[in-house]
Copies of this chain bind each other. A is one copy, B any other.
Amino acid sequence: MGVYTQAFRLLFGRPLATSEERAEHIGPLAGIPVFGLDALSSAAYGPEAALTLLIPLGLLGVRYIVPVSTAIVILLGIVYVSYCQTIEAYPHGGGSYTVASQNLGEGAGLLAAAALMIDYILTASVGISAGVGALISAAPSLQPHTLELCLLVLAILTIVNMRGVHDTGVVFMIPTYLFTATLLIVIAVGGWQTVHAGGHPHPVTPMPTALPVSAALSAWLLLKVFSSGCTAMTGVEAVSNGVMAFRNPTQKNARTTLTIIIALLAILLLGIALLCRAYGIAATDPGGPGYESVLSMLTRAVMGHGWFYYVTIASVLLVLALSANTAFADFPRLTRAIATDGYMPRIFLIRGRRLLYSWGIYVLVVLTALLLIIFGGVTDRLIPLYAIGAYTAFTLSQAGMVMHWKRQGKAPGRMIVNAVGAVATGITAVVVLMAKFLDGAWITVLLVGVMILFMRAVHRHYVRVNREIDLNRPFHPAQIGEPIVIVPVDRWSRISEKALSFALSMSCDIRCVHVRTSDDPDPFPEVWEKDIVAPLKAAGGCIPKLVMLKSPYRYILYPILDYVLDVERERETCKVCVIVPELVVQRWWQGVLHNRRSDLLKVMLLMRGNRRIIVINIPWYLGEG
């Protein structure tokens, strides 16, 4: 094993045999980092996004965060129940795509597929850019390197994920649990102090004063606050997509994982909202000079500015950056499911050396990097495109479940739960779309449309190809017949001898083609009679025919090509084989010293030829003589 192979294995792990599949399966402990990072990390930006929109209402606005968060947690509860039912009904992984396409038809399925694919790419970009954004607000000198840092995080995520699901879970466990534990401690301590202080505790370190009131409350503002806070719910569908990644009992493990994720997220969202209100913490202007994130202020207010503060902020930062991992876990599974139905290129079906659907990861990485580069790695520019996809998928998934239960004809209770969920998430989707449309959501809508057209075209193509090449009858041996063999010969050399002897092993009808580019006397016909025809006559074998082609304009390939097509037209049933001798050089620069005519002839025969023309490469290796 070479040194490069060893380094490669150290980085990406050894190849896994298909039979090792089971060892790659995970339980809830690793499942939470793999599938829950996106959902959990949104506790760090969901409340902040809602509070930022409340800035114009001053300190009064902070009061509204509690009812808004409560509404979001109720919606979360509905979605949770719905996905538990989905996991039970679709034990092989029932993402929104599967549920929608199986219950609502092709159109709904493709809409869910396109919405989810775009949302996963946005999850990866937003997660990475938010994590790097948090790092930069801690160390402003890194500001000019925002994009480079984003791409670095992307590269690290890629390498970890290329090792497979199991290793990823192990690697991401520590930051995930550190994040959850520190935030739970902040909420517990803050709650105790609030109760102790009769509802109005004093912050340990002074808070910035809230900005003056500059706007009045309106229903539209509250809707926008709600829709911004709803970004906290993206990533909830992740577990239902990845049921197959869990070890036995698969469904139970998946459900346990989902329950823990949702419970933690609900506690975090409600706790943060209540404490913000109790401590009177208003968001600061994200573009302004005195900006500080809500979680930073909250931790300072409850725990002071000591070591615990730094551990908490570091874990927030890490988890934000790693939340992109949910996309890595689910995007390849989703594209694989779509490809299985023939709506995406088949390459997404190939399992790589670590049993992953590698091409899903490659495509995700390239598109995420593109998005980060186009938007400069700035979260605020990406956020408006985000979350619409997720809510569209939620709605279609729950509507699909309604149809599923209806078809089963029993369990009306379950049907009602899903119906409520579908209505609630549907309304949210419309609100989110309206609130963000002009800010960038229109790009998502456009991309969803383009993706649907692409998937339809792919499917049409595969259906057509399969119709053409499928064969449901036995072999017809009658089709076998001797082909006509055409051998282009420039001069009598070892290469042409090899080509000719191969041609003679195939057929008795051989035409050697020689192109004349000038009017000068050509010595080839004489060589032909003496060195080729004479010994063959002596041996009593088949005699190939010599065809001299005139080329007044000095073209070499066109006359040969025309001749091949002529022969093919004349003889309507025969196969026509063209033998293309090819010199294989030992070093790359030697390539320029030989004409690429054989390559060109192959391409031209492929492009202008048709089904009865077959190209045979006879390679000649320098050094073989």
- Interface on A for B, CB 8 Å cutoff? 15-19, 345-347, 350-351, 353, 458, 461-462, 464-465, 468-471, 473-483, 492-497, 500-502, 504-506, 517-519, 530-532, 534-536, 539, 541, 552-554, 575, 582-584, 590, 592-595, 602, 606, 609-611, 613-625
Q: Are B624 and A619 in contact (CB under 8 A)?
A: no
Whole-angstrom distance between the Cβ of A540 and the nearest chain B Cβ: 9
Whole-angstrom distance between the Cβ of A363 and the nearest chain B Cβ: 11
In the bound complex, CA of A19 to CA of B15 (Å): 64
In the bound complex, CA of A493 to CA of B470 (Å): 5
Q: Are B506 and A474 in contact (CB under 8 A)?
A: no
In the bound complex, CA of A469 to CA of B539 (Å): 24
Closest to A611 in B: B624
In the bound complex, CA of A623 to CA of B602 (Å): 20
In the bound complex, CA of A594 to CA of B518 (Å): 44
In the bound complex, residues from chain B placing their C-beta under 8 Å from that of A501 are 475-477, 479-480
Instruction: A345-B592, A474-B531 are known; give 11 further A-B pairs, CB within 8 A.
Output: A350-B595, A458-B593, A469-B625, A470-B493, A474-B530, A475-B500, A477-B536, A480-B501, A480-B505, A611-B620, A615-B616
In the bound complex, residues from chain B placing their C-beta under 8 Å from that of A505 are 480-483, 506, 575
The residue from B18, B532, B613 contacting A619, defined by CB atoms under 8 A apart: B613
In the bound complex, residues from chain B placing their C-beta under 8 Å from that of A492 are 471
In the bound complex, CA of A459 to CA of B471 (Å): 54
Closest to A590 in B: B461
Q: Are A493 and B471 in contact (CB under 8 A)?
A: yes
Q: Are B575 and A502 in contact (CB under 8 A)?
A: yes
In the bound complex, residues from chain B placing their C-beta under 8 Å from that of A346 are 593-595
A346, A539, A593: residue with the most chain B Cβ atoms closer than 10 Å = A593
Whole-angstrom distance between the Cβ of A359 and the nearest chain B Cβ: 10
Q: A477-B504, A619-B613 are in contact. Are A593 and B461 (CB under 8 A)?
A: yes
Whole-angstrom distance between the Cβ of A324 and the nearest chain B Cβ: 25
Closest to A592 in B: B345
Q: Are A614 and B617 in contact (CB under 8 A)?
A: yes
In the bound complex, residues from chain B placing their C-beta under 8 Å from that of A464 are 622
Q: Which 4 A-B residue pairs are closest in the complex by CB-CB distance?
A: A17-B552, A611-B624, A477-B539, A468-B625
In the bound complex, CA of A469 to CA of B480 (Å): 35
In the bound complex, CA of A482 to CA of B506 (Å): 8
Closest to A581 in B: B469
